[in-house]
Amino acid sequence: MIDQFGRSVEYLRISITDKCNLRCVYCMPLEGLPWLQRDELLSYEEIEQIIRVMAPMGLERLRITEGEPLVRRDVPELVKLLAAVPGIRDLSLSTNAVLLAEQADALKAAGISRLNVSLDSLQEDRVDRIARRPGSYPKIMEGLAAAEEAGFSPIKINVVLIRGENDDEIQDFAEITREHPWHVRFIEMMPTGANLDLSSQQFVSCAEVLGRVREIDALEPVPGPFGNGPAEYYQFPGSPGTIGVITPMSHNYCDRCNRMRLTADGQLRPCLFGDLQTNLRDPLRAGEDLAPHIQATLRIKPERHYLIQGSDSGSGGLVALSQTGG
């Protein structure tokens, strides 16, 4: 699938729930969101039908995400359905890992090969403070251990930096890559309706991150792992893991964007931010051909996002970062 700017779009983020079992301070309001009703959600079979239309159009890679996907029941069953679609060559999952330990083996057997795990501190009290769900840290670490044991590769650790909260752990996170074949990625905080003060006052740029990491040791630019997306990767000499930076605010990477997003209620969004979307759920349930709707969405994919630090004007009305399907 080629958009109007010549970008090849072959990657889809599939949000399967809007719910999450954490309330991370930069992501979701403590009180949560107005949750979708059951009949508003796409069923697993409906998601499969959409992917079977998109795969012959050029879709190759899928990531299951949003909110926390593992709070929805029977995710391995969805993975099996999607893994059987001809043309799909890569299936990955984004998770906070709280529920991962008990599902890691089943997810790997079903067809998930790669994981992105959110972890914003290596200190239990800080994880409790950031995630606002006490007791999460041991479960996350159990999930990571189970993921390694199950054989997921690569495992990427996503760290959202908050000045004055966890930015003093930049070097500690970098040191992990000497011990584990993990890919630690530092992500610049993006503004939404729920985090405007935080994102404007406690923002940490990835240029600062690399400066602090280089205080430890030299860094070598390296190719990223499969599915590296927008991250730029570096490595300490001889280390099994890598250090990545994702710079949506300081240096956007929209010129090479290759993705769209399917929301949990069946809206196809050509940009993770912004308010452009096409309703696929209702035409699907009405028995319509979805291909024209998908092509129309591809034609309106914008050239770039318009996020502004400290403002929600470019976020398309999103309240929570979880609504981007990150």
The pLDDT of residue 169 is: 97
Which residues does 35 contact at the CB level (< 8 Å), separation at least 6? 18, 19
Neighbours of 292 (CB within 10 A): 11
Structure confidence by residue, pLDDT tens digits, 188-239: 887 765 666 676 678 889 999 999 999 999 999 999 887 656 789 999 999 9
* Greatest extent of the chain over all pairs of C-alpha atoms, in Å: 59
Cα–Cα nearest to 239, from 181, 155, 159: 181
Instruction: Provide the pLDDT for residue 26.
Output: 86
Q: Is the torsion defined by CA of 185, 186, 191, 195 positive or negative? A: positive
Per-residue pLDDT at 67: 85
> What pLDDT was estimated at residue 202?
83
Q: What is the reported pLDDT for 309? A: 58
Please tell me the predicted confidence (pLDDT) of residue 113.
93
Angle formed by the axes of helices 124-131 and 136-150, to 10°? 100
* CATH match of 11-324 with 3.20.20.70: yes
Q: In terms of Cα–Cα distance, which of 135, 131, 75 is closest to 102?
A: 75
313 contacts: CB under 8 Å, gap ≥ 6 = 306
Q: What is the pLDDT of residue 60?
A: 97
Distance between CA atoms of residues 17 and 94, nearest Å: 12
What Å distances lie between residue 118 and 153, 199, 233, CA to CA?
Answer: 16, 18, 18
3-state per-residue secondary structure call for the chain: CECCCCCECCEEEEECCCCCCCCCCCCCCCCCCCCCCHHHCCCHHHHHHHHHHHHHHCCCEEEEECCCHHHCCCHHHHHHHHHCCCCCCEEEEEECCCCCCCCHHHHHHHCCCEEEEECCCCCHHHHHHHHCCCCHHHHHHHHHHHHHHHCCCCEEEEEECCCCCCHHHHHHHHHHHHHCCEEEEEECCCCCCCCHHHHHHCCCCHHHHHHHHCCCCCCEEECCCCCCCCCEEEECCCCCCEEEEECCCCCCCHHHCCEEEECCCCEEECCCCCCCCEECHHHHHCCCCCHHHHHHHHHCCCCCCCCECCECCCCCCCCCHHHHCC
- Per-residue burial over 121-135, b = 16 or more CB atoms within 10 Å of its CB, e = otherwise: bbeeebbeebbebee
Q: How many residues does the chain have?
A: 326
Q: What parts of the chain have a pLDDT lower than 50?
A: 325
